[in-house]
Structure 1
Amino acid sequence: MILPVTLTIAAALAVVNLWLAFRIVPTRLRDKVLVGDNGDVRLHARMRAQANLVEYAPFVLILLALIELGGGSPMGLWILGMAFVIARILHGFGMDRLQSNPLRAGGALATWVILAVLAGWALAMAYGAREAGLPGTLVVTPVAHA
């Protein structure tokens, strides 16, 4: 089964990840830094922006895929997926500013909200489907041991 929403969001996030990685390379080349950040605050911030995407994207993509497989609303998934992509771009730009700023804070906050909404949606689908007795729903029933 092809998951068009998840595949598109995954591709967009791959491009964002490449963009975040490519922003790191010039500083590494200029300062001959192969490992770490060599005490460069901007390099460290850019490294964290990329790492932060890599920390959150798997959870979002897994939830998107499972909700899409479970028959979740494509429109809702598109909105949340694209909002996540935009949030990570805003966060990346915000990390270039070495003080607190709306781009960084907004990107982080949007990421948390989107992850929470997807988690709630997944739980609602999992337990709502079980309660409704929908076909194909895995039901785990505890068994008493003798």
Structure 2
Amino acid sequence: MITAFYASLLGLFFTILTFRVLALRGVTLLKWLAFNNFGAQALERSVRAHGNFIEYVPMVLLMMYLAEAADLSSLRLHITGASLLLGRVMHGVCFGFMEFNMPLRFGGMVLTLLALINISVSLLIVAL
């Protein structure tokens, strides 16, 4: 159930990223999410935040699920899930809602990659 916990939180954040893209594309009911609108660049960055989320999150969650099913320690799963969640929120906020913030962008990618490496190595050890 650890993977389900992080998947649900990540799913909620993904919904926020989706609403942001819709708002910037001009969906009237979602205009209230379009604060800090800096034009076409805002839409482009929001689409990238949305896409980047999809590029990393499913793979890590799938590996977390496999590792959890193989009885990997709860601590390793929580470290992976928390790193992924924090990393994706940092990166998503930087790209989706700000003009530019290198520490958030860099930190978000580092945490995401650490989560990916942690679960990959953990799963490989379990598989061997």
Structures share fold, TM-score greater than 0.5: yes
Matched position secondary structure for 1:24: helix
Structure 1 residues 1-146: aligned runs within 5 Å: 4-29=1-26, 40-95=40-95, 96-99=97-100, 101-127=102-128
Structure 2 CA distance for partners of 1:122 and 1:30, relative to 1, 3 Å: closer
Per-residue CA deviation, residues 5-53 of structure 1 (Å, 9 max, x unaligned), is 111111111101001111112221169xxxxxxx811101011101111
Return the index of the structure with the highest Cα Rg.
1
TM-score by length of 2: 0.84
- The aligned length equals 117
Would you tell me which structure has more helix in proportion to its own residues? 2
Larger relative contact order, structure 1 or 2 (CA cutoff 8 Å, min sep 6): 2
Q: Distance in 2 between matches of 1:123 and 1:76?
A: 13
Q: Distance in 2 between matches of 1:86 and 1:110?
A: 7
Consecutive unaligned residues in structure 1, runs of 5 or more: 32-38, 128-146
TM-score by length of 1: 0.74
Identity in percent = 30
Runs of 4+ deviating beyond 6 Å:
none
Structure 2 CA distance for partners of 1:74 and 1:14, relative to 1, 3 Å: same
1:36 matched to which residue of 2? none
> What is the Cα deviation at residue 98 of structure 1?
3.5
